[in-house]
Structure formats: structure tokens, C-alpha cells
Amino acid sequence: MKVTVGTFNLNNLFSRYNFKAEISEIKPKDAGLTIEYKFKDPESYKIRAYKGKLVNAKAKEKTEMIAKRITEMDVDVLGVQEVEDIDTLKYFNKEYLKSMYPYQVLIEGNAPRLIDVGLLSKFPIGGITSWQRATHPDKPTEPVFGRELLEVEILDRDRKKKVFTIYNNHLKSNLIPPGQNKTEEEKKNKERRKQQAETISKIIKSGMGNNDSFIILGDMNDMPDSEALNAFTGDTDLKMVNGLKDAKETQPPKPDNPPPASQVWTHRYKPSGKAAQYELYDQIWLSQALARKLTEAKIGRRKNLTGDGSDHDPAWVVLEI
């Protein structure tokens, strides 16, 4: 049985609704009326905002772009990042993907920016575990994951057995707030990713054995060989295998000067006045049991250097199970 598993940062997939509120039901006979609602009690409504600014919906043309890319990938299981909530994910699947995925998972995480991790699957789903409240010994009173570590069991089509378990991530970003010391903030960000990687390793080793089938994927915001991620990428007990090490592009990228050093990248960042940086932030790590079943790996290459609906490119692996 061939199974394809991918990861894709959808880049701020927010819904078109800017606030939530409790409003009285409109009776059927009044359906043709135009009604204006005024909210005096601040507890009766919630405006969708971040740092005092209204959160806008993802532009329709960009939403259509990422939907087209997902349709073209046509993977069986897709871990996604930067989705507002489960309703947004369900709506996106129904209206833009034409209900391509019968199963959708998303649990509200810790991100104040309203970006959560989720999963779309053509295979039935078993147990779901949220690790958003997990902590690290260095900071035992606060969650180590700024977003979420989402653990999802994927079952066979007959729901008789587990095929594998996915651990979907979106680790600490490289964003440095205006006015902050760049060196200090970079150090803090890397340290947080290191703590997150250590927690991921601990969680997986507490629940998985050497012969178990599992996948660590998502937007890691760091390179596969980074010191920060080494806690799970280089763990001698887990023995994870980089599923995208020899990934092939679906098409060559637009020419850039200088060009990327390798075709294995999913994220491009171009600082003002400087050369573009190409990174494999979006990763898929396979347990030993699954690494033996890896037959192919792909990166869905963008047509525009700035990105097609997202500043990340999707990546996926093909497994013969």
C-alpha cells in the first residue's frame, strides 16, 4: 500500500469573519430584513485582533493558490501549520478543496497570533493528543510550545490497525520584534527551539518503541542539522531519518542571484539589500520502521520567488507500507 505524507505551512489561513458575538435568532419571516447590531457589553462579543490590530482574512486569491497546490500534491495525510481554528480548516477543505479530506483535526493551541497546527487526512484517524501544556525543566511553570505539538494516530482504511503516528510541530519562529537586540533575540529563539526539541524527544520516547512507526513533521524554523533540533534529529535512541534529504523538486525555481546552494529547501527569505536565504524549515523525520519504507520525496516548488499563496513550499514523502 502506497501512502503519501506531507507538511505545508499555509501562511495565516484566517477566516473571513472578524468577530464573534452572541446575537438573537432571526425569525424566518424576518429573513429579508437588514438588521444592525450594536454591542454595549464587551463580554458579549470578541473582536479578532492581535497586538491591537484587526486580524484580516487570507486573501481569496492566495487561499485559492494554496488550495491548488494541495490539490496538485494529492497526498493522503497532510500536516498543516498557521490555521486559525477547526472551523476555518473545515471550511477550507469543503469550499476550496472540494471535501478532498474526509478527516480534519485541529486543537486550539497557545499562539496569541491565532495560528494553530492541524491535519487533513484521507485515512481514518484514531487517538488525538494535544501536548500544548507540556513544560521544560528550565521553565517548569509555562508551556514550552508557543503553538502546539499535535499527536495524531492514522488508521488503515478498515480502522482495524494503526498505520503510524504523526507529531505535527510549529517551533519557535525567527521573528525579532522591532527595537530588540538582534543577537540576544536570536539566542533566545534558538534556546526555545532547543527546549522544544528536547521536549519532543522526551514525549516520543515515553510513548514509542524502537519498532514503532511514527513521523515528526512540521515547520521547524531551523535547519535539519542545527544544534537546536539535535535533541530529536540526533537522538541515538530515536534514530530518526531525514525523509527529505534527497527530495526532488516538482519543477525548477525561478532564477535567482545567487541561486540556492541546494534544491532541498522550502523557505526563502530575502533581507532588504541582501542575498536571499534558502532553508529547509519544513521537515519530515521518519522512525526507523518507516525509513525502510521510504521510496520517494518531493518538494512542491513555487512558481514565484516570493511564494505562491505561502512563503513556504510543501514537502511530502512516499511510503510503501
Q: What are 111-153's pLDDT values in tens digits?
A: 888 899 999 999 999 999 999 999 999 999 999 999 999 999 9
pLDDT above 80: residue 30: no
Q: Which CATH superfamily groups domain 2-14+57-320? A: Endonuclease/exonuclease/phosphatase (3.60.10.10)
Give the pLDDT of residue 83. 97
Q: How far apart are CA 91 and CA 82, in angstroms?
A: 15
Lowest mean pLDDT among 32-46, 170-184, 255-269: 32-46
pLDDT above 80: residue 33: no
Phi, psi angle pair for 36, to nearest 5°: -105, 130
Model confidence at 45, pLDDT cuts 50, 70, 90, reads: low
- With beta carbons less than 8 A apart as the criterion, state whether 100 and 29 touch: no
Model confidence at 90, pLDDT cuts 50, 70, 90, reads: very high
Q: What is the pLDDT of residues 49-87, one digit of tens each?
A: 666 666 778 999 999 999 999 999 999 999 999 999 999
Q: How far apart are CA 187 and CA 271, in angstroms?
A: 19
Average pLDDT over residues 253-278: 92
DSSP sequence for 84-142: --HHHHHHIIIIISSS--SEEEE---S-TT--EEEEEESS-EEEEEE-TT-EETTEEEE
Average pLDDT over residues 89-94: 97
Average pLDDT over residues 195-212: 96
Spatial CA neighbour of 149 closest among 108, 219, 200, 220: 200
Give the pLDDT of residue 15. 80
Domain range annotation of the chain: 2-14+57-320
pLDDT above 90: residue 11: yes
Spatial CA neighbour of 253 closest among 238, 240, 264: 264
Model pTM above 0.85: yes
pLDDT above 90: residue 276: yes
pLDDT above 70: residue 16: no
Q: Are strands 214-219 and 162-170 parallel, antiparallel or unpaired?
A: parallel
- With beta carbons less than 8 A apart as the criterion, state whether 11 and 311 touch: yes
Q: What is the pLDDT of residues 207-251, one digit of tens each?
A: 999 899 999 999 999 999 999 999 999 999 999 999 999 999 999
C-alpha grid cell, residue 36 = 444592525
